[in-house]
């Protein structure tokens, strides 16, 4: 993180996925706070643990869509004939406590769009 800031980074994006353990994600959140670096995360629980913002596809919707595809394939449809799908529902979480610690004022228009605001 130190190198990124030295190179001029003013913010960062941390992807979710299976690549980071809870301990590693906690470390990233703590280092972002230490270096006062605004970070957007792909997991709601990262914002709840002190990250600034999270924006992510609704995982329940994704799992349901995957299950529908499996059911269609098991009924005999060819996977190659099924349309490509994209998430259509996203959740946006803002952690105001973290924003205040970073000295950021979150505009009211952005707060109004958030699905959840952590105070």
- Its CATH class, for the domain covering 2-57+88-118, is alpha beta
Tell me the mean pLDDT in the region 44-56. Answer: 94
Question: Which of the four pLDDT bands, split at 50, 70 and 90, describes residue 2?
Answer: confident
Percent of the chain's residues with pLDDT above 70: 99
Tell me the mean pLDDT in the region 57-74. Answer: 92
Question: Do residues 57 and 69 lie in contact, with contact meaning Cβ atoms separated by under 8 Å?
Answer: no
Burial zone of 106 (CB within 10 Å; 0-12 exposed, 13-18 middle, 19+ buried) = middle
Quote the CA–CA distance of 40 and 37 in Å, as a whole number. 10
Task: Indicate yes or no: pTM above 0.75.
Answer: yes
Residue 5 has pLDDT above 90, yes or no: no
């Amino acid at each position: 993180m130190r190198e990124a800031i030295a190179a001029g980074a003013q913010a960062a994006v941390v992807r979710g996925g299976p690549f980071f353990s809870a301990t590693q994600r906690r470390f990233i959140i703590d280092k972002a706070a230490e270096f006062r670096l605004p970070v957007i995360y792909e997991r709601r629980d990262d914002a709840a643990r002190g990250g600034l913002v999270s924006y992510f596809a609704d995982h329940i919707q994704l799992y349901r869509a995957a299950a529908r595809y499996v059911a269609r394939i098991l009924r005999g449809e060819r996977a190659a004939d099924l349309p490509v799908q994209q998430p259509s529902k996203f959740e946006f979480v803002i952690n105001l406590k973290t924003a205040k610690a970073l000295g950021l004022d979150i505009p009211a228009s952005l707060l109004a769009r958030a699905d959840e605001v952590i105070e």
